[in-house]
Amino acid sequence: MTDCKGCSATVHVSSEEIAQLFGETLRIRNVKLTTEEEYDRRMLVCQNCEAYQFGTTCRHCGCLMAVKAKLAAAHCPAPQGSKW
């Protein structure tokens, strides 16, 4: 198992766990999400990036990209500039 450097949780997150993160919490906070097309585009970029680790996490920011890529206001944290 691979653990997150910032906490005791694993960096391997299932699709079900990702779906839970988009449950009631984000609806209550009225967080704006991207379209499915934009999400798919962002994730394709991430999946082809050398900084994408463990199939879940960005080496630059430590975020779960399946979550971050859904957030309309989010951007790619690549040091040379956002890739999406």
| pLDDT given at position 31 | 80
| pLDDT given at position 39 | 94
pLDDT in tens, 38-70: 999 999 999 999 999 988 899 999 888 988 998
Going 37 to 39 to 42 to 46, the CA torsion angle's sign is: negative
Domain ranges of the chain: 15-68
Q: pLDDT band for 1, please (50, 70, 90 cuts).
A: very low
Please state the separation of Cα 44 from the chain's center in Å: 12
